[in-house]
């Protein structure tokens, strides 16, 4: 493990605990080294590799698109265990370059290292609750490595699934689920007889494992049905509308079960359910246009959702820490936000890039501040070092402070809004869901 990778693994683990409200890592693989090719879905661009690297125990080497390997970034990317992979549209001698890359991969697997590759190939701009067809490259890479080392070592492949309640929102949730390991050596005889058939078979097997590791809806046209039902029942894996009293694991499992039911039961002939989906879409689109949050529609049944006492309590108790956090974090936050939104045209990159940029800018920005505070106010330099490492926590408190203040303003404003029509329509939708969806 290279030192920079180790530092990233430790520091990003802390960053994720500040960025996300809750998370789960399921079916953990315990081995640091295991000659395993991990194949993951790719719902959140740059966030996915750093999350797997930080939150999973196995040490991985990332297969990364070659266009990010500009000359000044190469040393950093190498230190972070990243290896370029060349695609057809990158131009040049793609085949020759990839041959050299695969030789390095073969050697890495022979030495017990793990490889991470994203089987879907790219991230969609629109959030999805599905999985694009998994490419054959990772499986072909595994068998190619076995041939290169004359089948002298066991090489495995394993699917990984990542599910986000919201890709770019601070305070959202994620679940990272690890699939079972498949030993490619077990397919040796069949592979030698018919390589293409075995590659196709194992690819489908890994794809199925990955589907079981995520909230999976087969048809993109049914994504909104899943989200709509989860928001009305408040039992599922939707960031805006869920019941916080239900444990994350149960909400994630509920969403998975609902996705499976939709895949098995909803067809183009399911007229009642398709009509329900259409009405759910219309209901939530109207809420969006009217700038109404669904929690206010159910305020009578759940008064705690619109109560302000907990918001006021936070403001009263946390203001000293929030003030200090603002000093340390406001400028890095604004700079990272503005720079990211100006440079990155695709919003799918915003969450991960903002987090990393704020981390870098904040680390540099706070050094002189901590030096001065240590010199003037602290009795020993070790306290200054400790203070430096808790500044991200203080910034997170200040961010939450601003959020709590906004919450009070929104709740006050919504008190005077007549939502009776929404209440009536929501009750009707809830009853139809109860009648039509047995697993809801």
Pairing mode, if any, of strands 173-183 and 60-65? unpaired
pLDDT value for 286 = 97
C-alpha 325/C-alpha 362 separation (Å) is 11
- Is pTM beyond 0.85? Reply is yes
pLDDT value for 1 = 75
Taking only the tens place, the pLDDT of each residue in 100-144 is 888 889 999 999 999 999 999 888 988 899 999 999 999 999 999
- What fold characterizes domain 3-212? Glycerol-3-phosphate (1)-acyltransferase (3.40.1130)
Residue 115: beta bridge partners?
A: 37, 61
Taking only the tens place, the pLDDT of each residue in 84-94 is 887 665 556 66
pLDDT value for 91 = 59
pLDDT value for 71 = 76
C-alpha 250/C-alpha 345 separation (Å) is 36
- What residues have CB less than 8 Å from 72, skipping those under 6 apart? none
* Domain residue ranges of the chain, discontinuous segments joined by +: 3-212, 220-305+419-436, 309-414
Mean pLDDT by 10 residues, the chain (440 residues): 88 93 97 96 92 96 80 80 75 70 91 95 89 95 96 97 94 98 98 98 98 98 98 97 97 98 97 98 97 95 93 98 97 95 88 91 96 95 96 97 97 94 98 97
What the block records as the tokens of 9 is: 């693994």
pLDDT value for 313 = 98
Cα-flanking dihedrals φ and ψ of residue 62, to 5°?
-90, 135
Taking only the tens place, the pLDDT of each residue in 139-189 is 999 999 999 999 999 999 999 999 999 998 999 999 999 999 999 999 999
- The three-point CA angle 293-294-299 to 5° equals 105
pLDDT value for 88 = 63
pLDDT value for 90 = 57
Q: According to the 3-state scheme, what is the secondary structure of the chain?
A: CCHHHHHHHHHHHHHHHHHCCEEEEECCCCCCCCCEEEEECCCCCCHHHHHHHHHCCCCEEEEEEHHHCCCCCHHHHHHCCEEEECCHHHCCCHHHHHHHHHHHHHHHHHCCCEEEEECCCCCCCCCCCCCCCCCCHHHHHHHHHHHHCCCCCCCEEEEEEEEECCCCCCCCEEEEEEEEEEEHHHHHHHHHHCHHHHHHHHHHHHHHHHHHCCCCCCCHHHHHHHHHHHHHHCCCCCCCCCCCCCCHHHHHHHHHHHHHHHHHHCCCCCHHHHHHHHHHHHHHHHHHHHCCCHHHHCCCCCHHHCCCHHHHHHHHHHHHHHHHHHHHHHHHHHHHHHHHHHHCCCHHHHHHHHHHHHHHHHHHHHHHHHHHHHHHHCCCHHHHHHHHHHHHHHHHHHHHHHHHHHHHHHHHHHCCCCCHHHHHHHHHHHHHHHHHCCCC
Measured between alpha carbons, how far is residue 202 from residues 132, 182, 206 in Å?
Answer: 16, 9, 6
């Amino acid at each position: 493990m290279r030192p920079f990778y180790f530092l990233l693994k430790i520091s990003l683990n802390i960053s994720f605990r500040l960025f996300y409200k809750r998370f789960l890592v399921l079916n953990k693989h315990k081995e640091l080294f295991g000659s395993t090719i991990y194949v993951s879905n790719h719902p959140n661009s740059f966030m996915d590799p750093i999350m797997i690297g930080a939150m999973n125990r196995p040490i991985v080497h990332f297969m990364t698109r070659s266009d990010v390997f500009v000359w000044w970034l190469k040393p950093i990317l190498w230190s972070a265990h990243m290896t370029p992979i060349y695609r057809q549209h990158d131009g040049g001698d793609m085949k020759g370059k990839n041959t050299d890359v695969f030789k390095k991969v073969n050697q890495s697997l022979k030495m017990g290292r793990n490889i991470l590759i994203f089987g879907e190939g790219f991230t969609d701009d629109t959030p999805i609750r599905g999985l694009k067809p998994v490419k054959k490259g990772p499986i072909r890479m595994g068998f190619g490595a076995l041939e290169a080392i004359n089948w002298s070592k066991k090489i495995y492949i394993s699917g990984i699934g990542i599910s986000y309640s919201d890709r770019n929102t601070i305070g959202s949730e994620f679940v990272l689920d690890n699939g079972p390991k498949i030993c490619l050596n077990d397919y040796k005889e069949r592979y030698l007889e018919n390589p293409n058939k075995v590659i196709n078979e194992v690819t489908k097997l890994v794809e199925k494992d990955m589907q079981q590791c995520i909230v999976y809806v087969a048809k993109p046209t049914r994504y909104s049905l899943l989200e709509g039902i989860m928001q009305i029942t408040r039992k599922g894996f939707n960031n805006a509308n869920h019941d916080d009293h239900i444990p994350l694991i149960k909400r994630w499992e509920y969403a998975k079960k609902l996705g499976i039911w939709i895949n098995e039961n909803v067809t183009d002939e399911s007229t009642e359910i398709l009509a329900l989906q259409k009405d759910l879409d219309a209901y939530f689109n109207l809420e969006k246009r009217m700038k109404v949050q669904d929690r206010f529609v159910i305020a009578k049944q759940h008064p705690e959702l619109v109560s302000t006492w907990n918001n006021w309590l936070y403001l009263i108790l946390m203001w000293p820490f929030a003030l200090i956090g603002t000093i340390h974090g406001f400028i890095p936050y604004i700079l990272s936000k503005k720079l990211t939104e100006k440079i990155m045209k695709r919003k799918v990159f915003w969450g991960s890039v903002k987090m990393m940029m704020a981390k870098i800018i904040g680390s540099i920005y706070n050094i002189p501040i901590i030096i001065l505070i240590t010199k003037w106010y602290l009795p020993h330099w070790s306290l200054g070092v400790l203070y430096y490492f808790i500044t991200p926590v203080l910034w997170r408190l200040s961010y939450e402070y601003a959020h709590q203040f906004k919450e009070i303003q929104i709740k006050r404003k919504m008190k005077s809004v007549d939502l009776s029509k929404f209440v009536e329509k929501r009750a009707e939708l809830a009853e139809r869901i109860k009648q039509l969806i047995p697993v809801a």
